[in-house]
Amino acid sequence: QVQLQESGPGLVKPSGTLSLTCTVSGGSISNSKWWSWVRQPPGKGLEWIGEIHNGGSTNYTPSLKSRVTISVDKSKNQFSLNLSSVTAADTAVYFCARRGYFDSSGHYYPYYFDYWGQGTLVTVSS
C-alpha cells in the first residue's frame, strides 16, 4: 500500500519561499510515473499546482508557473515543492498525490489521483 506524507514548515513569512517535501513509502517513487502537488485554501476548493514525472519532466499550472519548482529525489523516495514570493493568498492545505490509477485488472488510467497525503497546512504570515 503506497503512502504519502507531507512535511515542512507550517508558517512562512510573506515574500519568503514555501518548501515542502512528500515522502513516499510502501513502494518506489520510480514505479509510478507522475507525482503531483494540489492545494486547498481554507474553506475553498482544490487547485492543482503542478506535477513531476519520475524522469524529471514537469508541468506547472500557468498561474503559478513563475514561482513554482517541483523536484524529485529518487534516492530518498521523495519529491518536493518550492513556491517563492509567497503572499497570504498562498495560505492553504498542501497535498501531495500520485497521479495514475490502476484498476483491479491492472489497467492504467493516467489522469486520476489514487493516493494522497493527509495534507499539511501552510500559513503565510509575518
Partner 1 sequence: EIVLTQSPATLSLSPGERATLSCRASQSIGSFLGWYQQKPGQAPRLLIYDASNRATGIPARFSGSGSGTDFTLTISSLEPEDFAVYYCQQRSIWPGTFGQGTKLEIK
Nine-digit cell string for 120: 499539511
Among residues 122, 97, 84, 88, the alpha carbon closest in space to that of 8 is found at: 122
Nearest distance from C-beta of residue 39 to partner 1, angstroms: 11
Mind spelling out the 3-state secondary structure of 70-126? EEEEHHHCEEEEEECCCCHHHCEEEEEEEEEEECCCCCEEEEEEEEECCCEEEEECC
**x/- track of binding to partner 1 for residues 67-96 (CB under 8 A):** ----------------------------x-
Is there binding between residue 33 and partner 1 (CB under 8 A)? no
Binds partner 1 (CB under 8 A): choice among 10, 31, 42, 45 = 45
Nine-digit cell string for 93: 492545505
Binds partner 1 (CB under 8 A): choice among 86, 90, 117, 124 = 117
Is there binding between residue 1 and partner 1 (CB under 8 A)? no
CA distances from 71 to 26, 32, 44, 45, 57 (A): 20, 15, 27, 25, 9
Nearest distance from C-beta of residue 62 to partner 1, angstroms: 6
16 or 100: CB nearest partner 1: 100
Is there binding between residue 55 and partner 1 (CB under 8 A)? no
Q: Which residues bind partner 1 (CB under 8 A)?
A: 45-48, 51, 59-62, 95, 97, 99, 101, 103-104, 109-114, 116-119
